[in-house]
Structure 1
Amino acid sequence: MTNQIALITGASRGLGRNMALHLAKRGVHIIGTYRSSSAEAETLKQEIEALGGKAAMLPLEITVTSSYPAFVRAVTSTLQNDFGRERFDFLINNAGNGLFSNFVDATEGQFDSLVATHLRGPIFLTQKLLPIMEDGGRVLNVSSGFVRFTLPGYSVYAAVKAAIEVLTRYLAVELGSRQIRVNAIAPGAIATDFGGGAVRDNKEVNAYVAQGIALGRVGLPDDIGGAVAAILSDDMAWANGTTFDISGGQLL
């Protein structure tokens, strides 16, 4: 995977950050996006460079599709100036937000936010970036374990993520002529700041969730970052159009 370039949305924190570091350890260079925290993005850039890799961090508000043409121009310029390349290899549609709301209380504003972030964004950003993606490249979408199992309060979020899994299969078919393979991952409960960080920071919540996971603990960011690096590697080159459950066996 040496000298390949991955573009990761939402790379400055959480799972995106961990994905970037795991890929960098395998020799993949990183173009990451961040929404507001340029300081976190710069810290990640320095960590990747300390590993011997190259990195660039670009601002992107995933919900503002009108900004995508300018973003693609920025990526194109970054590829040429920082990496000496015309195209990149991997796109990871990771940027997201968590939202807990019982169905009877869900608002149209919450719905619009989830769709804009988790569905409209990945659809149209991928569309805009495809012309500068290498043939034989890879797209990896981020779904959620909530598509497979149910917990009250995540109905709208899970419905939107289910759409991403369907999109993944369709893209795999439509991009097959370019040998671009498209997969998704569905993480289970991970100890991050997602949803306010309850799984990570609240011992009672952590213990409750862990008892429903076959391996007896909640996931860690490294569990996801390592899996992403493996899925994007040539070792998994025949996997296409599928969603990988990465949950440790949650709620089986």
Structure 2
Amino acid sequence: MKVAIVSGASSGIGQSTAIQLARRGTGVILTYHGNQQGAVDTVAIIEKEGGTAVALPLDVGDTVAFAPFREAVAATLGDRWQRDTFDFLVNNAGFGHLAMFEDTTEDSFDTLVRVLLKGPYFLTQTLLPLLADGGAIVNTTSNSATRSGLEPGYSAYGSLKGALVVLTRYLAKELSPRGIRVNSVSPGATRTRIADNAFERFPEVIPGIAAKTALGRLGEPDDIGMVIAALLAEECRWITAEDIEVSGGYNL
């Protein structure tokens, strides 16, 4: 059985990705931070459908926690799947941030750096010895880093998601001797818990987003989760170093 690690899988895109991978026969180690019940619910959904999953706590903004997390992963792999490696890594954990350029503070910028770039950079580095040759990595970026998604208020967030796209290409190059593929997906506006459930708190913004989207609606977590799962599958074995926008044609 293939095994995947999906960070930030207690809700939204990460939760969908974990479930979609499990439905394809992949065992899942999913992480959570601040939403333990969501992680428990995700595991329950997967196990109810006959899959296997384990939830582990992880703060991707705290690099000190990465080495102990690797040890927990190694122990889980051995106990649950009788393996000492895993096959897929999905760097999904993160958070949304809206602030105009002139209002962005250094503290908020530094927090974004820790979670959105430094976190996936060094988490991947820490887990690399356990990642099997021929495996694959997918990084969740954002269309706020592309021309289609440029909207006021996301200068810091979009810049760091753009840096993650560049990191994706470098990892694809440097890990290619081991047969490891690395891609990223750039979601558009998606109905998740991002920004404290912004779409639930401000449903009036949804029609405007739908009107600017070619396919005429807000994205749903499964729209992204299914793409991530597909990128990790054998059918996409010849795809690497790509960033795929998954936005329903936003601003098309």
TM-score (norm 1): 0.97
The alignment status of 1:77 with 2:72, answered yes or no, reads no
Look up the match of 1:167: 167
Look up the match of 1:60: 58
Q: 1:36 to 1:198 in 2, by over 3 A?
A: closer
Look up the match of 1:235: 235
Structure 1, unaligned runs of 5 or more? none
Query: What amino acid sits opposite 2:224 in the alignment?
Result: I
Runs of 4+ in 1 over 6 A off after TM superposition: none
TM superposition shift of 1:202: 3.2
Contact 1:92 1:140 in 2 (8 A): yes
Contact 2:11 2:193 in 1 (8 A): no
TM superposition shift of 1:200: 4.7
Q: Per the alignment, in what secondary structure is the counterpart of residue 72 of structure 1?
A: helix
Pairing of 1:204-219 with structure 2 (within 5 A): 204-219=204-219
Distance 1:72 1:231 in 2: 24
TM superposition shift of 1:85: 0.7
TM superposition shift of 1:86: 0.7
Look up the match of 1:224: 224
TM superposition shift of 1:134: 0.5
Q: Structure 1, residues 142-190: CA drift from partner, whole Å, max 9, x if none?
A: 1101011211111100000000000000000000000000000000011
TM superposition shift of 1:227: 1.0
Q: Structure 1, residues 85-120: CA drift from partner, whole Å, max 9, x if none?
A: 110000000000111100000001110110000100
RMSD between superposed Cα atoms in Å: 1.0
Look up the match of 2:17: 19
Pairing of 1:98-113 with structure 2 (within 5 A): 98-113=96-111
Contact 1:188 1:247 in 2 (8 A): yes
Query: What amino acid sits opposite 2:156 in the alignment?
Result: V
Q: 1:224 to 1:118 in 2, by over 3 A?
A: same
Deviates more, 1:19-28 or 1:199-208: 199-208
Q: 1:243 to 1:66 in 2, by over 3 A?
A: same
Look up the match of 2:155: 155
Q: 1:242 to 1:200 in 2, by over 3 A?
A: farther
Q: Per the alignment, in what secondary structure is the counterpart of residue 8 of structure 2?
A: coil
Contact 1:142 1:184 in 2 (8 A): yes
Look up the match of 2:192: 192
Look up the match of 2:26: 28
Distance 2:128 2:192 in 1: 30
Q: 1:200 to 1:211 in 2, by over 3 A?
A: farther
Q: Structure 1, residues 196-241: CA drift from partner, whole Å, max 9, x if none?
A: 3333553320000011111111111111111111111111111100
Distance 1:22 1:243 in 2: 20
Distance 1:150 1:38 in 2: 33
Contact 1:189 1:199 in 2 (8 A): no
Query: What amino acid sits opposite 1:153 in the alignment?
Result: G
Q: Per the alignment, in what secondary structure is the counterpart of residue 199 of structure 2?
A: helix
Contact 2:188 2:247 in 1 (8 A): yes
Contact 1:213 1:251 in 2 (8 A): yes
1:144 is matched with which residue: 127, 142, 151?
A: 142
Contact 1:198 1:205 in 2 (8 A): no
Q: % of aligned pairs identical?
A: 44
